[in-house]
Amino acid sequence: MQLVKKTCYIANLTYLLAHIFYLILFIVARINDLIYLNIAAIVLYLAFFLIIKKEKYYYYALACGNTFFAVVFYSTRMVGFGSGFYLYLIGLCVVSFFTTYFSKARNLKGSMVWVALSLSIYIVLYILDIRFPTKYKIDGWLEMTLFMFHCVVAFAMVASYMIIFLKYAFSLEKKIMNESRIDELTQISNRYGLYDFFDEEKNKANKVLALFDIDNFKKINDTYGHVAGDNVLKRVAKIANESLQGAFICRYGGEEFVVVLEDDGQGSSFNALEEFRKNVEKEPFEFAGNAVSLTITIGAEHYSEGVSLEKWVELADKRMYSGKNTGKNKTVF
């Protein structure tokens, strides 16, 4: 809504300045009808700022669109089709679709009505210009000035509204992509985030991938319920973030997590993972008034040149199950 409000303010100011320009131009050309029309339009656009301030965007779009139609029709009948006022109708079609997208109703029929009206007015003005003379016969310089001005404004309207829409679409796409890479329960990366990390990480040679899961997690769920199980997952993710700062951490699935961290060749990754394992073991967990000892088993594997992510995880998984089969609550490289 802040984007819509800002867009409305900028657009309204632009339209106001355009009518001030018209007013000056028609005063110089001594076209009284259009002098009065633009004075009225200036007053209207000043009033429209109040509508925008009250966040009545639908009413603003409706009032603005009708003002466009009136100005285009009346001005064209005064000074002729060659002045290019009809070019506003093209920009108005784009604005109508922009307005529909950001409205609450999102009714496409409304935009189609505006397009149909714009087309109808264009055709009517063209026919009237052929059949009936305009009230004022303007000089060539004025007609050229008006036509060039309307070309610039019409193209600017189309380009600016499309740029705003695309920026919004890109930001929305980025937000959706980011959210789709976050595990809803633990608020850390999920498996898809791991895929992105693996693809984007250029220097894997000094990396270690560790796969760990929570020992006897099913028993916790069966004994204390899934709410307790969810709490365990969130707490373990929190401990991992605090213990393994700088590492990439994700929930791989169920009670399994993946950690990718740096290794200096002197056991730094093993020491970090062991410290994390001990921190989990020391963390007090209590369910239904019962103290529960929680442990994790970690399997870790150094990166090998050319190995796929799936294979890397599989190797770490074998290490982890080796630890599971030899007593649990340990880190196995």
pLDDT tens string 99-111: 777 777 677 887 8
The arrangement of strands across the sheet holding 207-214 comes to 248-253, 256-262, 207-214, 296-302, 331-332
Band (65; pLDDT cuts 50, 70, 90): confident
pLDDT of residue 114: 86
Nearest to 12 by CA among 59, 46, 35: 46
pTM comes to: 0.63
pLDDT of residue 298: 97
For residue 141, the number of C-alpha atoms closer than 13 Å in the C-beta half-sphere is 4
Whether pLDDT at 310 is above 80: yes
Q: How far apart are CA 191 and CA 252, in angstroms?
A: 5
Whether pLDDT at 119 is above 80: yes
- Region 191-332: CATH code: 3.30.70.270
Question: Contact, 332 vs 315, CB < 8 A?
Answer: no
For residue 322, the number of C-alpha atoms closer than 13 Å in the C-beta half-sphere is 13
Percent of the chain whose predicted confidence (pLDDT) is above 70: 99
Whether pLDDT at 258 is above 90: yes
pLDDT of residue 293: 87
Whether pLDDT at 61 is above 80: yes
Band (72; pLDDT cuts 50, 70, 90): very high
Percent of the chain whose predicted confidence (pLDDT) is above 90: 71
Domain spans in the chain, listed from the N-terminal domain onward: 2-179, 191-332
Whether pLDDT at 193 is above 90: yes
Q: Taking the mean position of all CA atoms in its chain, how far away is CA 125?
A: 40
Nearest to 71 by CA among 38, 48, 45, 120: 38
